[in-house]
Amino acid sequence: MNQHQTQARTDNRSARRIAFVQACWHKDIVDRCRVSFAVEIAKLGVGEEDIDYFEVPGSLEIPLHAQLLAESGRYAAIVAAGFIVNGGVYRHEFVAEAVISGLMRVQLDTKVPVISAVLTPQNFHEHDEHKKFFLDHFVVKGAEAAAACAATVDKVARLPLAS
């Protein structure tokens, strides 16, 4: 294999790498998204070896982590997963707006797609019914994030970009 083939293979591999950044608040619920994402993205041809997983304390820490990962040039996409609920310390709306706006800014500034599986329900109560709903819902969101990630990476790769 010559140097050009080696470089093309390396570029192709890095073009398929995905970073998955997960907040650890309500980790038991958000973990369901990560597991579902991994299962679904594998069905779409992205192997476990092509995904790097990162944990941050809470959702407010996701945008900075996503930006640093995007700026590294190693990833074709960043997936963010978190669960922002009204916990009484910060206003739910403030945190949700800051995180979602931050993620949008990251992808627009770096041109690396950021797929959001950061859920921001208006009401969440830690009783069995709500917890079961969100445990199940994060499985759905993980699969949806995988489909969106694969489609976006493919579509961005096909865009005619100016040199």
* Active centre residues (catalytic): 91
Q: How do beta strands 18-23 and 51-56 pair?
A: parallel
The total of other beta-carbon atoms located within 10 Å of residue 161's CB is 8
What residues contact 159, with CB distance under 8 A and at least 6 apart?
Answer: none
Rounded Cα–Cα distance for residues 163 and 67 (Å): 23
